[in-house]
């Protein structure tokens, strides 16, 4: 199944209007680290909740996704948003170095061609621009559980799962560094006790 059709099918299976996971935690992280007056790309914007919050804060934001269904929902919920469909398998229809910051919330784990995605992300981010990213954490407890339990392994690495990649602090930091980013901070965070853990990343695109 081509990437576009795959992602459209995934979105049609998701009930509309759900609040993104750990929304308050991730929004606080995002707003605290964006440069004032930044032009921001919300990469993989979904239904537009983060982009709308950024717009309300006075940020100039473009919300993009690889499927039309979430963009349709974003337009309906937030008519003021600037949204755009991008190619999930090739070069994005976005100009080089056209953003001061890129926000990719819970996106990288869904990407099949990680190298291509990172290359495009770096291309559209200006020299010295900021990458802000979140993704679920694959920590020691999850790895240990998968190693000791067949059931836990099957649940974690189900081939039908839409999470195609699993990241630890080390692997995510190394990946981002390999694409020309510096000043990389990767930290773990979580919501209430017992909540899932996620990784929050801030990195700066190396200057030419």
CA-based nearest residue to 131, from 147, 119, 142:
119
pLDDT tens digits, one per residue of 128-163 = 999 999 999 965 445 444 444 446 544 545 554 656
* Class for the domain spanning 3-205: alpha beta
Predicted confidence (pLDDT) at residue 190 exceeds the cutoff of 50: yes
Check residue 151 and give its pLDDT. Answer: 61
**Mean confidence (pLDDT) of the chain:** 88
Check residue 35 and give its pLDDT. Answer: 81
Give the range with max mean pLDDT: 70-84, 131-145, 186-200: 70-84
Strand order in the sheet with 60-65: 82-85, 60-65, 39-43, 99-105, 125-136, 197-205, 181-190
Contact (Cβ atoms closer than 8 angstroms) between residue 26 and residue 134: yes
Predicted confidence (pLDDT) at residue 4 exceeds the cutoff of 90: no
Domain boundaries, the chain: 3-205
pTM of the model: 0.88
Residue in the block written with tokens 């694959």: 138
Distances from the Cα of 204 to the Cα of 112, 185, 187, angstroms: 24, 10, 15
Q: Rounded CA gap, 53 and 152, in Å?
A: 36
Check residue 165 and give its pLDDT. Answer: 87
DSSP per position, 81-125:
-EEEE--SSS--SS-TT-EEEEEEES-GGG-S-HHHHHHHHHHHE
Q: Rounded CA gap, 208 and 205, in Å?
A: 9
Contact (Cβ atoms closer than 8 angstroms) between residue 131 and residue 201: yes
Phi, psi of 6 (to 5 degrees): -60, -50
Check residue 145 and give its pLDDT. Answer: 45
What burial class does residue 205 get, using C-beta atoms within 10 Å of its C-beta: 0-12 exposed, 13-18 middle, 19+ buried?
buried
Interval 112-123 mean pLDDT: 96
């Amino acid at each position: 199944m081509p990437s576009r059709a795959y992602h459209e099918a995934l979105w049609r299976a998701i009930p509309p209007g759900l609040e993104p996971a750990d929304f308050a935690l991730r929004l606080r992280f995002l707003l605290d680290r964006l440069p004032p007056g930044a032009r921001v790309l919300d990469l993989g914007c979904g239904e537009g909740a983060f982009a709308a919050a950024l717009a309300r804060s006075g940020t100039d934001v473009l919300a993009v996704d690889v499927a039309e269904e979430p963009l349709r929902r974003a337009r309906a919920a937030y008519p003021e948003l600037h949204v755009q469909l991008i190619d999930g398998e090739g070069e994005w229809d976005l100009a080089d170095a056209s953003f001061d910051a890129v926000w990719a919330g819970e996106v990288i784990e869904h990407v099949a061609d990680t190298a291509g995605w990172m290359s495009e992300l770096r291309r559209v981010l200006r020299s010295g621009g900021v990458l802000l990213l979140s993704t679920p954490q694959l920590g020691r407890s999850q790895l240990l559980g998968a190693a000791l339990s067949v059931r836990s392994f099957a649940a974690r690495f189900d081939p039908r799962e839409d999470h195609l990649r699993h990241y630890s602090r080390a692997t995510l930091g190394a990946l981002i560094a390999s694409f020309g980013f510096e000043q990389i901070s990767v930290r773990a965070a979580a919501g209430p006790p017992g909540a899932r853990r996620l990784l929050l990343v801030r990195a700066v695109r190396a200057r030419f």
